[in-house]
Amino acid sequence: MRVAVVGAGLAGIAAARELVASGHEVVVFEKSRGLGGRLASRRADGGAVLDHGSPVIAAPAGSALRALIEATPAEDRVDLPDGVAYAAGATRLPKILAAGLDVRFGVRLAALRAAGAGLELGDEQGNTHGVAGAVVVTAPAPQAADLLARSPEPPERVAALRALAYAPAVMVLAGVALAPGAVIGPVAGGPLASVRRETAKGRADADGVAPLVARLDAAASARLLDASDEEALALALPALAAVLGPGAPAPAWAQVKRWRYAVPEGRLDEEAVNPPGSRVIIAGDTVTGARFGGDDHHRVFDSGVRAARRVASIPTAEAVR
Ligand SMILES: Cc1cc2nc3c(=O)[nH]c(=O)nc-3n(C[C@H](O)[C@H](O)[C@H](O)COP(=O)(O)OP(=O)(O)OC[C@H]3O[C@@H](n4cnc5c(N)ncnc54)[C@H](O)[C@@H]3O)c2cc1C
């Protein structure tokens, strides 16, 4: 059967791998230009790599994700107390795990139209991408709701997805000329929730400038989500200077990155949101939940595997080849 997966984050990649392993023809649609979703990294001017999404990958011992990480060795992997990181950036693991998958980048699926026993896949430009017998949706719940609202799915299912709110995150990426062993002080009170020095992930300072990633706390992120970069930096940089302590130089550069849907405020019941036999299957942190500083990535990954297994229970499965 041809199966579409919406989203090339951890859940989508897990679902696609499992579906391919069970013999399905799988196409992953990803609206952005890269793999990983909220596992995201970027290279700043000067070459420093910064993870501006989740700071580490939480894959505790005993989890399927951990076993997979260990079975796919990467010499730049760094084990930190709260998870796994890669010197090349957080997208390194998704790139390893998605090897060989058919991923169509830059395609935002926007409609699933009934077509015989399957669903015709429509994108936001009005193009169609064939018919699939099942669609695994791993987008954050509000985006999943937008897609299901333009599908034959019942309105109750869309409403359930819409009811799940997400906390935003405004991230400030900065390069500061810190001494190699300089200790970053604790973050006490708002507006910053955390500050990390990315060189702890096996990455070198770029020209003596340490790459730092700071996350604004929930209140400041909500306030500044739609504000200008200047407004976000005006709040964040003095707070960063206070954390770095007296004498720390001003940042050589700073950038802002925003996540409208960073972590869900709760989760939906996986069984309730995935009625038996439905051709549209919801996976990802919509059904697992996730928290800043949490150890949820392995659960997100497992949800993708379970979604793939639900495809086997779809009665129309044989009709769309
Ligand atoms: C700043 C930040 C810090 C975090 N910290 C932690 C932490 O410490 N611990 C923890 O466990 N978790 C943390 N998380 C959450 C964790 O990263 C996520 O729960 C997890 O990565 C979600 O994976 P996913 O595959 O479910 O979704 P995503 O990674 O969001 O993947 C979904 C993909 O779907 C794509 N997409 C959406 N709509 C469409 C569409 N219509 N068509 C095509 N593609 C579409 C998106 O572009 C995206 O790539 C954090 C997240 C952020 C942003």
Residue 275 belongs to a domain with what CATH number?
Answer: 3.50.50.60
Mean per-residue pLDDT over the chain, rounded: 94
209 CA to centre of ligand 1 in angstroms:
29
| The predicted structure's pLDDT at residue 316 | 55
Establish if 61 belongs to a structural domain: no
- Per-residue confidence at 190, pLDDT binned at 50, 70, 90? confident
How many domains, in total, are found in the chain? Answer: 2
Q: Is 45 among the domain residues?
A: no
* Ligand 1 pocket mutation, candidates 263, 299, 301, 302, criterion most atoms within 8 A of CB: 263
| Residue 54 domain flag | no
Q: Specify the residue with its C-alpha closest to ligand 1, atom 35.
A: 7
Q: In angstroms, what is the span from residue 136 Cα to ligand 1's centroid?
A: 15
pLDDT for 26: 98
Point out the ligand 1 atom lying closest to the alpha carbon of residue 304: 25
CA–CA separation, 41 and 54 (whole Å): 9
Here the tokens at position 214 are 């700071």
Q: How far is the CA of 12 from the centre of ligand 1 (A)?
A: 10
Residue range(s) defining the domain that contains residue 209: 167-263
Q: What is the pTM of this model?
A: 0.96
- pLDDT confidence band for 320 (50 / 70 / 90): low
270 lies in the same domain as 149: yes
The pLDDT assigned to 314 comes to: 83
Residues with CB under 6 A from ligand 1: 6-12, 29-32, 37-39, 53-54, 58, 108-109, 138-140, 143, 147, 169, 171, 215, 259, 262-263, 284-285, 290, 292-297, 300
pLDDT of 53 reads 98
Claim to verify: residue 102 and residue 20 sit in the same structural domain: yes
Please report the pLDDT score of residue 319 as a whole number: 46
Nearest to 276 by CA among 306, 314, 308, 303: 314
Lowest mean pLDDT among 199-213, 241-255, 281-295: 199-213
* Same structural domain, 115 and 12: yes
Same domain, 108 and 204: no
**Is there a single domain that holds both residue 252 and residue 284?**
no
Give the CATH number of the domain where residue 186 resides.
3.90.660.10
Question: What is the number of the ligand 1 atom nearest to the C-alpha of 10?
Answer: 25
Nearest residue (CA) to ligand 1, atom 3? 54
Residue 185: how many other CB atoms lie within 10 Å: 12
Average pLDDT on 33-52 reads: 93
In the beta sheet, which residues pair with residue 176?
Answer: 210
pLDDT digits (tens, 9 = 90+) for 163-188: 999 999 999 999 999 988 888 878 98
The answer to whether position 249 is within a domain reads yes
50 occurs within a structural domain: no
Among 263, 289, 307, the domain boundary falls at 263
Summarize pLDDT for 61-115 with one digit per residue, the tens: 999 999 999 999 899 999 999 999 999 999 999 999 999 999 999 999 999 999 9
The minimum-distance atom of ligand 1 relative to the CA of 262 is: 53
**Same domain, yes or no: 146 and 189:** no
Contact 164, 286 (CB under 8 A): yes
For 67, half-sphere exposure in the C-beta direction (CA atoms, 13 angstrom radius) is: 5
Pocket test for ligand 1, best of 27, 30, 54 (most atoms within 8 A of CB): 54
Distance 53 CA to ligand 1 centre (A): 8
pLDDT of 121-165, one tens digit each? Answer: 999 999 999 999 999 999 999 999 999 999 999 999 999 999 999
Rounded-to-integer distance, Cα 321 and Cα 319, Å: 6
**With contact defined as beta carbons under 8 Å apart, do 141 and 166 qualify?**
yes
CA of 204 to the centre of ligand 1 (A): 27
Does the pLDDT value for residue 318 go beyond 60? no
How remote is the CA of residue 167 from the centroid of ligand 1, in Å?
A: 12
Is the pLDDT assigned to residue 200 strictly greater than 80? yes
Q: What gap in Å lies between CA 151 and CA 119, rounded to an integer? A: 8
Ligand 1 atom showing the smallest separation from residue 261 Cα: 53
Q: Over the stretch 218-262, which tens digit does the pLDDT of each residue have?
A: 999 999 999 999 999 999 999 999 999 888 899 999 999 999 999
Atom of ligand 1 nearest to the CA of 285: 26
Of 263, 288, 307, the position where a domain reaches its end is: 263
**Nearest-CA residue for atom 14 of ligand 1:** 54
Nearest CA to ligand 1 atom 26: 284
DSSP collapsed to 3 states, the chain: CEEEEECCCHHHHHHHHHHHHCCCEEEEEECCCCCCCCCCEEECCCCCEEECCCCCECCCCCCHHHHHHHHCCCCCEEEECCEEEECCCCCHHHHHHCCCCCEEECCCEEEEEEECCEEEEEECCCCEEEEECEEEECCCHHHHHHHHHCCCCCHHHHHHHHCCCEEEEEEEEEEECCCCCCCCCCCCCCCEEEEEEHHHHCCCCECCEEEEEEEECHHHHHHHCCCCHHHHHHHHHHHHHHHHCCCCCCCCEEEEEEEEEEEECCCCCHHHHCCCCCCEEECCHHHHCCCCCCCCHHHHHHHHHHHHHHHHHCCCHHHCC
Q: Using an 8 Å Cβ cutoff, are 282 and 161 in contact?
A: yes
- Note whether 244 and 285 are same-domain residues: no
Q: Which atom of ligand 1 is nearest to the CA of 110?
A: 41
Do both 151 and 172 map to the same domain?
no
